[in-house]
C-alpha cells in the first residue's frame, strides 16, 4: 500500500458495503468500551493527566507504525497547515469532553457528544461533492438521535442553569469532531490515515501535559494496574487502531453514512457499563437502543447508484487504489 496515495475527496454517496458497516460497528464497540476505560483510569489519575498519557503513548506507537510502514510524515506548507488545524481541533475536542462532562451530567454529555454525525451531515453538502443531505438521511439521523435521548433520559438530572455551560462545551466538542471529519475527507489522497492521526496526537499530548501541569499538579498520579490497563486499551486499541481505521473509512466512503453508525458508540457504552460497572439497563434503555438501530438502518439502507459520469470519474481512483495495493 502506498504511503501517500489514496482515494479522491469526491464522495460516492452509496450505501456502505457490509465490510465497512462491520468495521464501523466494531469501532463503535471499541469506543463504547473507551468510556468505561476512561472512568476506570481516572480513579487513580486526574483527567487531563490521563488523557495526556494516553495520547503520548498513542503518538509514539503511531510514529513507530509510520516508520515501519514507510508512511510519509513530511509534507509541504499547505498540508502542514491542514494538519496543524486538525491537531488543534483534535486537542480541543478531547479537552472539551472532559471539561464539559465535569460541568454537566453524564447523560446530557453523552447526548450532546452524539450530535457529531448531525454536524457532519449538515456540513458535508457544502464541502464534499456528492455527499447529499437527503430527506431519508435527515429522518434516519433524527430517529437515531432520538434513540440516544431516550437511552440516556434517566441520567439527565441536574438544574438547567447549572449544566447549560457544560452542555454547550460538549456540543462544541461534537462540532469540532464533525469539522475534523469533513477535513479528513477533503485531504483524501494527500495524507495517509496513519500520518493524519500521528500528527494530531503529537500536537495534542504536549498541550494536555501543559494543562495538566498547570491545573492538576496538586492531584495524585498513581500508576496502578488498572490505570496501566486503561491506558493500554485507550492508546493501542481505541486511539491507534480506532482513529486510524475511522480516518480510513471516512476517506473512502460517505462521511455522513459512516458517522451515522457511530450512534452505536453510546449504545455500547451503556451495555459495557451494565456488564462491567453494574449500571442500570431497563426497558426504556432498550427502546432507545432500538431507536438508534432503526435510525442507522434508515440512513444506510438506500441510496442512488452512481451515475455513469460519477462512475467514470471514480474509475481512475479505483485503478490507482488497486495499483497501490499491489505496490
Q: What rounded mean pLDDT belongs to the chain? A: 81
Q: What is the pLDDT of residues 181-212, one digit of tens each?
A: 999 988 888 899 999 999 999 999 999 999 99
- Of 14-23, 244-253, 281-290, 300-309, least confident by mean pLDDT is 300-309
pLDDT score recorded for residue 125: 87
Higher pLDDT, 200 or 138: 200
Distance CA 192, CA 37 (A): 28
Higher pLDDT, 111 or 106: 111
pLDDT score recorded for residue 138: 87
Q: What is the pLDDT of residues 73-83, one digit of tens each?
A: 999 998 999 99
Residue 282: other Cβ atoms inside 10 A: 9
pLDDT score recorded for residue 325: 41
**What is the rounded average pLDDT of the residues 102-130?**
79
User: CA angle at residue 106 from 221 to 58, to 5 degrees?
Assistant: 45
Q: Is 12 in contact with 190 (CB distance < 8 Å)? A: no
pLDDT score recorded for residue 8: 53
pLDDT score recorded for residue 157: 62
Q: Which residues of 234-272 are buried (b: 16+ CB within 10 A; e: fewer)?
A: bbebbbbbbbbbbbbbbbbbbbbbbbbbbbbbbbbbbbb
Q: What is the pLDDT of residues 308-322, one digit of tens each?
A: 444 444 444 444 444
Q: Give whole-number Cα distances, 200 to 121, 159, 175, 242, 311, in Å.
A: 23, 36, 17, 14, 33
- Using a pLDDT cut of 90, give the percent of the chain over it: 33
Higher pLDDT, 198 or 302: 198
**121 pLDDT higher than 60:** yes
Q: Which of 216, 215, 180 is nearest to 197 (CA)?
A: 180
Amino acid at each position: 500500500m502506498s504511503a501517500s496515495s489514496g482515494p479522491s475527496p469526491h464522495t460516492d454517496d452509496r450505501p456502505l458495503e457490509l465490510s465497512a458497516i462491520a468495521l464501523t460497528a466494531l469501532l463503535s464497540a471499541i469506543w463504547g468500551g473507551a468510556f468505561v476505560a476512561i472512568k476506570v483510569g481516572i480513579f487513580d489519575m486526574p483527567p487531563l493527566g490521563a488523557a495526556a498519557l494516553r495520547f503520548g503513548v498513542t503518538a509514539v506507537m503511531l510514529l513507530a507504525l509510520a516508520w515501519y510502514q514507510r508512511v510519509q510524515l513530511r509534507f509541504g506548507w499547505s498540508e502542514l497547515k491542514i494538519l496543524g488545524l486538525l491537531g488543534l481541533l483534535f486537542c480541543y475536542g478531547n479537552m472539551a469532553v472532559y471539561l464539559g462532562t465535569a460541568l454537566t451530567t453524564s447523560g446530557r454529555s453523552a447526548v450532546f457528544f452524539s450530535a457529531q454525525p448531525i454536524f457532519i451531515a449538515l456540513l458535508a453538502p457544502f464541502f464534499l461533492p456528492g455527499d447529499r443531505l437527503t430527506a431519508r438521511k435527515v429522518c434516519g439521523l433524527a430517529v437515531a438521535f432520538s434513540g440516544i435521548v431516550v437511552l440516556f433520559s434517566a441520567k439527565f438530572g441536574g438544574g438547567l442553569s447549572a449544566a447549560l455551560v457544560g452542555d454547550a462545551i460538549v456540543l462544541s466538542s461534537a462540532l469540532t469532531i464533525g469539522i475534523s471529519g469533513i477535513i479528513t475527507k477533503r485531504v483524501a489522497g494527500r495524507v495517509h490515515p496513519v500520518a493524519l492521526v500521528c500528527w494530531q496526537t503529537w500536537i495534542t499530548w504536549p498541550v494536555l501535559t501543559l494543562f495538566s501541569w498547570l491545573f492538576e499538579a496538586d492531584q495524585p498520579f498513581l500508576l496502578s494496574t488498572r490505570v496501566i490497563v486503561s491506558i493500554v486499551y485507550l492508546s493501542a486499541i481505541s486511539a491507534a487502531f480506532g482513529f486510524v481505521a475511522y480516518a480510513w473509512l471516512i476517506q473512502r466512503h460517505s462521511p455522513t453514512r459512516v458517522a451515522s453508525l457511530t450512534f452505536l458508540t453510546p449504545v455500547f457504552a451503556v451495555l459495557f457499563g451494565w456488564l462491567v460497572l453494574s449500571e442500570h439497563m431497563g426497558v426504556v434503555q432498550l427502546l432507545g437502543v432500538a431507536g438508534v438501530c432503526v435510525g442507522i438502518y434508515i440512513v444506510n439502507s438506500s441510496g442512488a447508484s452512481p451515475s455513469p459520469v460519477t462512475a467514470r470519474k471514480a474509475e481512475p481512483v479505483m485503478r490507482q487504489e488497486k495499483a497501490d495495493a499491489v505496490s
